[in-house]
Structure 1
């Protein structure tokens, strides 16, 4: 049976936070496996952090192409990182592993009517393996992850923290933090191996901390700082740890916004689809695949 994080929006904040924190450590990618990826030579024979990042960017393009939710993308990244940290795979198998993690996430997070056929997903992503290959790989992934599919992700924490802060501050302060902008920033962070070793709760808090500091010109920002400090205390996060991750997030977002930021391979993602497949796709599927623009200001 698939282990899922069920909807708990109606529960008090403290109860939701406790539930997420209790599961967080159990779903973290194995640190020893991540270190092996990080230290691997980029010779085409071993999995590397760079290859992982390219695969995540392709999954982000597919997420946008199909119009899937941020939950689906974050879950796919979580599954991919957990599997790569647990298993040694060859680079030639990465696209199959990535697409299978994506497919598991789709079937877990999206409405059944929006789940594409595996064959169509393979065709649109321009991969050359078969549906049988994909089904075998999906079974391997689920078994190696002990069928525990849905981990508490940084997106869960980000939305919970944002909602909690909004409830604690006045109307003027509420206008400062834009959740769409924060989620776009989180997607950029997902595309960097740097954050795979960090607790999702710490990454979410660092995103909020950076955003609050960058909105320092607003007079009402002090109320946000105080609420953020209360959250930090509840999470038992040290000032130094938060400052360190906040700086890493800032660096990531700067790199993301420059022309040097690696985009998904445009040549590979020029999808060719059949008429039958085209009729099944929603209009939103035909968006040009690219990394999303982070909103400049709060709405």
Structure 2
């Protein structure tokens, strides 16, 4: 298990930019800009992790990558599906065993999006550049067991006193 200090150090460089997230939260739904509602729909689409039987950690990393990217880039709503699937695919390739990683073609088909493998690869590269190639980000999923373990030990120590 990674220690709390190590996770905090890793997290500092991987968090979405607050000002970018505030822009999304304050945007009005006019079909031209990213909104909180569109972001929520895309996060729901990342539930492909359940379809494939992937780790919860994969979902958590995909959401982290998506939010980091959206906080740095003004993504037109029509490109959101490709961005979301790119973040998902990066997370899958980062967390899951190689033998369980679907092909890009299969992933696009199953997700029912209308873009090509080259579109997906191009978006992956853009996402990687914007998150400074930090795919192994500290996520809420990693913090939870560490915090529970830390608090459990503190509780046990207090009980012994």
The bucket for the TM-score relative to the shorter chain is over 0.9
Structure 2 counterpart of 1:29:
16
1:140 to 126, 130, 151: 126
The CA deviation at 1:166 is: 3.9
Match of 2:39 among 39, 46, 52: 52
Partner of 2:78: 92
2:115 match: secondary structure: coil
| CA distances 1:100-122 after superposition (whole Å, capped 9, x unpaired) | 00000000000000000000000
SS in 2 for 1:27: coil
Alignment of 1:171-210 (within 5 A): none
Structure showing greater relative contact order (alpha-carbon pairs closer than 8 Å, 6 or more residues apart): 2
Residue matched to 2:30: 43
CA contact (8 A) 2:16 2:67 kept: yes
Q: Does 1:126 align with 2:122?
A: no
Q: 2:98 aligns with which of 104, 112, 125?
A: 112
- Does 1:164 find its partner at 2:150? yes
Q: Normalising by the residue count of structure 1, what TM-score does the alignment of the two structures yield?
A: 0.51
Residue-by-residue CA offset, 1:245-281 (whole Å, 9 max, x unaligned): xxxxxxxxxxxxxxxxxxxxxxxxxxxxxxxxxxxxx
- Deviation at 1:32? 1.1
Once residues 120 and 45 of structure 2 are traced to their aligned partners in structure 1, the CA distance between those partners, rounded to angstroms, is 17
Distance 2:94 2:58 in 1: 8
Q: Deviations over 1:19-50 (max 9, x none)?
A: 11122222111111111111111011111011
Once the two structures are TM-superposed, the CA of residue 167 in structure 1 deviates from its matched residue by 4.3
**Looking at CA atoms only, which structure, 1 or 2, has the larger radius of gyration?**
1
CA distance in 2, matches of 1:66, 1:163: 29
Cα deviation for residue 140 of structure 1 reads 0.8
Farther off after superposition, 33-42 or 160-169: 160-169
Q: CA deviation at 1:161?
A: 1.4
- Superposed CA RMSD: 1.8
Shift of 1:141: 0.7
Unaligned runs of 5+ in 1: 1-8, 171-222, 228-299
Give the paired residue count.
159
3-state secondary structure, aligned to 1:68 = coil
C-alpha displacement at 1:81, in angstroms?
A: 0.2
Once residues 64 and 22 of structure 1 are traced to their aligned partners in structure 2, the CA distance between those partners, rounded to angstroms, is: 30
From 55, 61, 69, the equivalent of 1:75 is: 61
Counting helix residues as a fraction of each chain, which structure ranks higher? 2
